[in-house]
Chains A and B, each alone.
Chain A
Amino acid sequence: METFIEIKPGRKPFQRIYLGIMLWFVGKAIQAAARVDNEVKKEFKGMPANYTFSLGAFPNGPYMIVGKDDKEKVRYLGSNISKHHVDLEITLKSMKNLFVLFTFRESTPIANSRDRMIVNGDLPQACAAVRILDIVQVYLLPKPLAKLAIKRYPRWSLKRHTVDRLMVLIRTITGI
């Protein structure tokens, strides 16, 4: 007889909603940055055709998935991990770990060094995905918060900090 694991909704609805919104933003912002930012463009270019990657929490999410389509266009593919083939999974071991990460109490490198993440997929691509996430965080977050999230706050040109950031934010919200 087959046994079914009953998936219970998380007991922390606030965390789940907060993370869902954050992941939606990150996913949309990756799609936007891939149109605006040259470095993000380059990172995606280095990935194989139709490459997809996800970020989320084990075992029941939430998740976000982004990937390249047939025409090399980067798209936010939503939050339903069972609907997509994912080449690279970056998964926090629990929703709490993801919450700590997204409330900037622990940076991505520290979370990784404390063994809170599982990376499943090719390493060079994983490195590229982490660099993309870093850049997107710099676009989305005010400097003091971004500094908590990444190792080194980058020295960007004034245009990248202002015009490009505005473009990324507009495209993130409007989805175009």
Chain B
Amino acid sequence: MSRELFKFKGGVHPPEHKAESTSRPIHAAPLPKKLVIPLRQHIGNPAKPVVEVGERVLKGQMIAAADGYISTAVHASSSGTVVAIDLQAVPHISGLPDLCITIETDGRDEWVAHAPLDYQAMEPSQLRMQLRDLGLAGLGGAVFPSAVKLDPGASHVCSTLIINGGECEPWITCDDMLMRHHADEILQGVAIMRHLLGSTDILVGIEDNKPEALDSMRSAAAKLDFAVEVVKVPARYPGGGAKQMIETLTGKQVPSGKLSTDIGIQVFNVGTSYALARAIHHGEPLISRLVTVTGHVLRPQNFEVLIGTPMHTLITLAGDRDGTTGVLMGGPMMGVPVPNLDVPVIKATNCILVKSKELFPPLPKALPCIRCTRCADACPAELQPQELFRFAKAGDFGRAQEYHLFDCIECGCCSYVCPSHIPLVDFYRYAKGEIWAREKDKRAADLARERHEFRQFRQEREKKEKAEKLAAKAQAKRAELAAAPAAEGAAVSDADAKKALIAAALARAQAKKSDAAPKNVDQLTPEQLHQIEEIEARRTKIRELARKPLESEEKKP
């Protein structure tokens, strides 16, 4: 209670709309007939399939393995048969398909053999590998592989561990419900994190609009044998952002372009902590999560959903209504529209928000920026959104970067307050995408330059080698010829050697020529030979005659 709280700059107070989905208990969503499980659900390299089409898989069996350090595995959410490994629609704003493993479930929901892990007895690096193979990734939204975040690095400790129960975005309540009903397990996860990171200062930040969650977490924390401080923080969007939560609780700011671990702080979402506890104490991989289904539905509520469940089944469960104008994955501030409702729930899906005209009236037409700087007042990252907008719109990405574009957390506060209704965040996303693409092009160009230069070097070298080989051959020949007169005791000068070389070459040419001479003159009668001689004489005469006029002409001028 005594902890001094700090205030981050900016932020907004959008209507919360949380009560809609917290009045009903958590329901387990039924097992769907088909699970479509994307291989790219986390940040980093997509997982690599380790099963084949036609193979029977069990619930919790790894179907795709982590590929590299920043990656994590993907598992079958239920038992059944792999029916396809191909491109399927995924919840991504682009609407582009991505590689997925489709499993036809058999309804038996049969588990693969799994057992709890004795994490205290394990080597930390080995434990992290296990977590990677259990598919753990941050469930707060960024889906960063947890095993990487649980590596304290060279410093060997990360003194402050923050568990983020902020959940500041309107409509979403899955973290709230999780804290209300699974506080003990969340804190079991915290114990594992503490073990891996060596943290001494453990804080749980919960916004003051979730009193039930605060109570439940506080009573669970009181039972622990280590100190966990559950802190009530004022509700203000985006107070649940990692950087904002750090500032509120510790007063520290993460410097631009740095990570929170650089100042000795690591932040995890409560959902991730819960998943970690399930993984260690039950050996269960990450195959399900809590999802809030809310907005324009009959019974807004939270579901425990298997990863890969199509979104439309959840909307049907919650009671779909007429007049739906669209569906967002995530909340109204940061959510992305889903291309269609066949797309599956993935590790990042915290909320399915169904829109209607009444709840989300279409934005009025955007007007030019009037430079009122309301956006700058609202920006929690202390940026100048109006300038970023100007540069992004004009394609002046260099200036946008100078204005710290990459510190923008895409929270949407600026768009929310903009009186001109400019979709500012879309411009920042566009600018970031362009800058990344340019960097990629630059790398490709550098590779091409390097390869081209190497090729030129190689060609040069080959030419030189060829010339050297020829020179060596000539040298050998010369030595060979020089050896003969040397035997006779005469000193042979270089010029002589050259002469001899030329003479030898001439002799060879002569020999070749005579070899090539017509052989049909060998057995002729003297008469015939005489005739040939005569003909040759005539030819010489004609040649001479022909040459004469030419010579006289040459003399003329």
Whether chains A and B associate is no
The residues of A with any CB-CB pair to B shorter than 8 Å are none
Q: Which B residues have a C-beta under 8 Å from some C-beta of A?
A: none
